[in-house]
Amino acid sequence: DVKVTQSSRYLVKRTGEKVFLECVQDMDHENMFWYRQDPGLGLRLIYFSYDVKMKEKGDIPEGYSVSREKKERFSLILESASTSQTSMYLCASSGFNPGNTGELFFGEGSRLTVL
């Protein structure tokens, strides 16, 4: 089974702190994604990556950056956390193996609270 592991399920940070959210997948997937999920707003794509060291902005990249130094790991960085970034963060991966649907496999989520 594909496993997408997010390093922290719950975090509490202070305004202005630098925050790292880590995500690791074990299926050699090419694509990795970071979403945030908020009540009434649904899932919104922050950044995605189609290959190592490659990244593309999603719909709401402001205030975030990402790093993908290894194929299995995709990190989301909040350079200076703000209260508006309190949210559930979901990492996902997908691959282009022949015959697969390209479905997204999600991690369990990281609930971040910024005080």
Partner 1 sequence: QKEVEQDPGPLSVPEGAIVSLNCTYSNSAFQYFMWYRQYSRKGPELLMYTYSSGNKEDGRFTAQVDKSSKYISLFIRDSQPSDSATYLCAMSKGVGGSNYKLTFGKGTLLTVNP
Binding site for partner 1 (CB under 8 A): 4, 31, 40-43, 45, 48, 50, 56, 58, 90, 92, 94, 96, 101-109
Shortest Å, Cβ 10 to partner 1: 10
Shortest Å, Cβ 51 to partner 1: 11
First to last CA, the chain: 37
Write out the two tokens for 87: 């949210």
Write out the two tokens for 110: 């990281």
Return the number of the residue (71 or 106) whose C-beta is nearest partner 1. Answer: 106
Shortest Å, Cβ 67 to partner 1: 20
Shortest Å, Cβ 24 to partner 1: 14
Write out the two tokens for 74: 């995709």
3 state DSSP class of 84 = helix
Return the number of the residue (56 or 79) whose C-beta is nearest partner 1. Answer: 56
Write out the H or E segment, with its range, that includes residue 71. Answer: none
Q: What are phi and psi of 17, to 5 degrees?
A: -70, 155
Return the number of the residue (66 or 92) whose C-beta is nearest partner 1. Answer: 92
Return the number of the residue (47 or 114) whose C-beta is nearest partner 1. Answer: 47
Q: What are phi and psi of 85, to 5 degrees?
A: -95, 5
